């Protein structure tokens, strides 16, 4: 709300009854504040001003300022505390914790997405939809943002911690904070940081030491590199980390084993070179050129990184991607040019270079990505595409063609069964044209079953292909889908293909949407996570309009090419069941 500069309409002092009314309103809105707290927040002998402002979106907001700092602001007759107030009373609101890099996005106007929420061992605070909440960063209990919960705690957990969690109203470093003295958040130790048994704590710490520990400076832990590098903004300006925060605990446990190696420039150089040559030899193709260097990094180099490791160019001896590519250009492996001022692109690659030709990808177990909702079962049940068979039901009008073979109305037949029965019927009734065996005579039964009324007097012969096509078109369509290890399922109608579309959003941005994944046994949230990691762009799942219990995947940018590769190459979905592949951005073409 206060991400951009606002306009001040008026600034007046509050006195007498207005001051008492404000104190009563604050006490009513925040009953946990005691009389002493209110007296400390609004000293009777100090001036209290009310400032009326308009935000950049046109909202009229009333701000209450005490000692040059905004303490409360009022919107639609609701009072909200500022971060200055929350620093004095950090437990005034239920608080959700996130990572420090997310704060920059929140201050820029983004909302907090649930994947960016760190779930403590004690669990999330109990809130209802519409509850006023605070946001803190890992390692410090001082709130850095204020917002409203978009769903209850139970709904958050039921959603698998996906979707928007908190609508942010005000943050540290936004324009409302700038309106005050611009002080930084105090360091307040978390209430629970790797808690030891109570007996041990009481024996080791004196009451004085406990008090000191609450107010001493607390250094914020570094965000795991995978979290830090993959934070993104969605089209609507919401923060979505590319990787789940569930990995944080595992990364903490592995710090002793892997931390030193990942920080070593030599090791990082080796990993960077491995991913670079892997991308050139096995991922990139000539039609992909010219290619933005940033796109090469996101879509080609990062996906080649071995599982459990992360390329961090800043920790290599090169420090910057441009310097690394410049070195590769000096070795005549590729050529980089500025096709647009300040924007570098890879324009040529020498695939015959000895370094590329001699590179061999590390031997790993090739496994098909698993699309199951329960991650604990993922290793035992890799995804296999279903077997889909088109079926054709016998309608009342078509029954005369099939009754001689013992079939009845409603029986389901495969295309080969229908073809065999029609051929037998034609030959049994000697309907093949003796002069041209490519044609079949139309007898009364064929006329009633396959011809339109307007054709009765004109059509006396049909080609074999036309005969079979008309027959299939006039039957009742169904399909049978069989998943490995499951009984066949028969449904009416043709199966809907996986539909890929590209929609335009504000500011000339695009979003790729994928629907009907559930029909093929895929979990949309798993597909979203895989794409998110592969293309380094934010991906979310939203309800599919007009379809009950169905969702669609939305991913930032035109990602049709990457979606097609994932579905067809990795998950072996037949191309005929994937629509929208023609919407992919043509490589090398400038708009």
Q: What's phi and psi for 176, nearest 5 deg?
A: -70, -40
Q: Give the helix, strand, coil percentages of the chain, each rounded to 5.
A: 35, 25, 40
Q: Are 52 and 70 in contact (CB under 8 A)?
A: no
Instruction: Give, for all 591 residues of the chain, the pLDDT tens digit.
Output: 676 656 666 678 887 788 889 999 999 999 999 988 898 888 888 888 999 888 777 778 899 998 889 999 998 889 999 999 999 999 999 999 998 888 888 888 889 999 889 888 788 999 999 999 999 998 899 999 999 999 999 999 888 888 899 999 999 988 889 888 888 899 888 765 444 443 433 334 444 443 333 333 333 444 444 343 334 433 334 444 444 334 333 444 443 343 443 447 888 888 899 899 988 988 888 888 888 888 888 888 888 888 778 888 888 899 999 999 999 999 999 999 988 777 888 999 998 888 888 777 765 433 334 444 443 333 445 678 899 999 999 999 999 999 888 888 888 999 998 999 999 999 999 999 999 989 999 999 999 899 998 888 888 999 999 999 999 999 999 999 988 877 788 889 999 999 999 998 777 788 999 999 989 988 888 898 888 888 888 888 888 887 777 889 999 889 999 999 999 988 899 999 999 999 887 765 544
Per DSSP, 2 falls in state: -
Task: From residue 557, give the alpha-carbon distance in Å to each of 256, 504, 560, 583.
Answer: 38, 9, 9, 12
For residue 136, the model assigns a pLDDT of: 94
CA atoms of 426 and 422, how far apart (whole Å): 6
Q: What's phi and psi for 481, nearest 5 deg?
A: -120, 130
> Which tokens sit at 233?
């903004």
Looking up tokens 């005369």 gives 400
> Please, which residues have CB within 8 angstroms of residue 557's CB and are 6 or more apart in sequence?
509, 510, 511, 512, 535, 537
> Which tokens sit at 385?
């595409």
Stretch (H or E) spanning 389: strand 387-393
CA atoms of 58 and 234, how far apart (whole Å): 23
Q: Are 111 and 239 in contact (CB under 8 A)?
A: yes
For residue 200, the model assigns a pLDDT of: 37
DSSP code string of 415-453: HHHHHHHHHHHHHHTT-B-SS-TTEEE--HHHHHHH--G
Q: Are 51 and 10 in contact (CB under 8 A)?
A: yes
For residue 3, the model assigns a pLDDT of: 63
CA atoms of 277 and 349, how far apart (whole Å): 11
Query: 3-class DSSP state for residue 581?
Result: helix
**Angle 99-304-224 from CA coordinates, rounded to 5°:** 15
CA atoms of 28 and 49, how far apart (whole Å): 20
For residue 8, the model assigns a pLDDT of: 66
Count the residues in the chain.
Answer: 591
> Which tokens sit at 357?
């030709």
- Helix 265-278 to helix 321-330 angle (10° resolution) is 70
Quick count: other Cβ atoms within 10 Å of Cβ 88?
Answer: 14
For residue 221, the model assigns a pLDDT of: 42
Q: Are 426 and 477 in contact (CB under 8 A)?
A: no
Looking up tokens 């600034």 gives 11
Query: 3-class DSSP state for residue 269?
Result: helix
> Please, which residues have CB within 8 angstroms of residue 195's CB and are 6 or more apart in sequence?
201
With CA atoms as reference, report the closest residue to 168 among 188, 144, 152, 184: 144
For residue 470, the model assigns a pLDDT of: 93
For residue 86, the model assigns a pLDDT of: 95
For residue 220, the model assigns a pLDDT of: 41
CA atoms of 522 and 69, how far apart (whole Å): 52
Exposure string for 219-233, b = 16+ CB within 10 A, e = fewer: eeeebbbbbebbbbb
> Please, which residues have CB within 8 angstroms of residue 279's CB and are 6 or more apart in sequence?
296, 300, 301, 303, 304
């Amino acid at each position: 709300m206060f991400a951009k500069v606002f306009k001040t309409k008026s600034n007046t002092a509050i006195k007498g009854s207005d001051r008492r009314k404000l104190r009563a309103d604050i006490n009513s809105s925040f009953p946990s504040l005691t009389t002493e707290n209110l007296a400390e927040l609004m000293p009777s002998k100090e001036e209290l001003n009310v400032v009326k402002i308009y935000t950049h979106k046109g909202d009229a907001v009333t701000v209450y300022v005490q000692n040059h700092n905004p303490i409360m602001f009022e919107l639609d007759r609701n009072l909200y505390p500022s971060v200055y107030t929350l620093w004095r009373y950090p437990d005034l609101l239920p608080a959700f914790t996130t990572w420090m890099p997310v704060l920059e996005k929140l201050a820029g106007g983004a909302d907090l997405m649930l994947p960016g929420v760190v779930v403590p061992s004690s669990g999330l605070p109990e809130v209802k939809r519409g509850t006023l909440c605070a946001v803190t960063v890992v390692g410090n209990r001082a709130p850095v943002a204020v917002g409203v919960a978009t769903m209850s705690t139970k709904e958050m957990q039921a959603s698998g911690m996906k979707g928007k969690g908190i609508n942010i109203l005000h943050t540290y470093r936004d324009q409302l904070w700038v309106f005050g003295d611009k002080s930084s958040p105090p360091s307040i130790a978390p209430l629970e940081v790797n808690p030891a048994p109570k007996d041990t704590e009481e024996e080791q710490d004196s009451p004085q030491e406990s008090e000191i520990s609450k107010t001493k400076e607390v250094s914020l832990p570094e965000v795991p590199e995978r979290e830090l590098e993959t934070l993104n903004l969605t089209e609507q300006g919401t923060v979505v980390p590319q990787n789940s925060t569930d990995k944080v605990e595992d990364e903490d446990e592995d710090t002793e084993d892997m931390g030193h190696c990942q920080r070593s420039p030599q090791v990082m150089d080796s990993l960077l070179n491995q991913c670079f040559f892997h991308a050139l030899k096995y991922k990139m193709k000539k039609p992909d050129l010219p290619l933005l260097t940033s796109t090469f990094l996101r879509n080609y180099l990062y996906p080649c990184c071995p599982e459990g490791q992360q390329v961090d160019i800043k920790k290599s001896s090169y420090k910057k991607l441009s310097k690394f590519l410049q070195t590769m250009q000096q070795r005549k492996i590729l050529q980089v040019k500025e096709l647009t001022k300040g924007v570098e692109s890879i324009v040529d690659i020498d695939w015959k270079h000895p370094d590329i030709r001699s590179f061999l990808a590390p031997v790993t177990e090739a496994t098909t990505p698993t699309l199951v909702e329960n991650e604990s079962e993922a290793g035992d049940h890799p995804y296999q595409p279903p077997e889909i068979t088109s079926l054709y039901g016998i309608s009342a009008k078509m029954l005369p063609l099939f009754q001689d073979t013992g079939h009845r109305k409603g029986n389901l037949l495969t295309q080969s069964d229908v073809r065999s029965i029609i051929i037998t019927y034609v030959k049994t009734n000697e309907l093949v044209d003796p002069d041209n065996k490519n044609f079949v005579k139309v007898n009364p039964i064929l006329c009633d079953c396959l011809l339109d009324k307007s054709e009765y007097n004109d059509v006396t012969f049909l080609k074999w292909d036309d005969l079979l096509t008309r027959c299939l078109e006039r039957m009742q369509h169904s399909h049978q889908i069989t998943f490995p290890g499951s009984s066949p399922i028969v449904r009416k109608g043709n199966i809907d293909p996986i539909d890929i579309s590209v929609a335009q959003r504000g500011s000339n941005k695009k979003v790729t949407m994928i629907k009907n994944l559930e029909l093929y046994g895929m979990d949309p949230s798993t597909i979203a996570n895989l794409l998110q990691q592969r293309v380094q762009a934010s991906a979310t799942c939203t309800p599919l309009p007009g379809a009950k219990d169905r969702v669609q995947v939305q991913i930032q940018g035109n990602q049709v090419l990457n979606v097609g590769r994932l579905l067809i190459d990795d998950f072996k979905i037949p191309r005929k069941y994937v629509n929208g592949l023609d919407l992919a951005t043509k490589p090398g073409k400038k708009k």
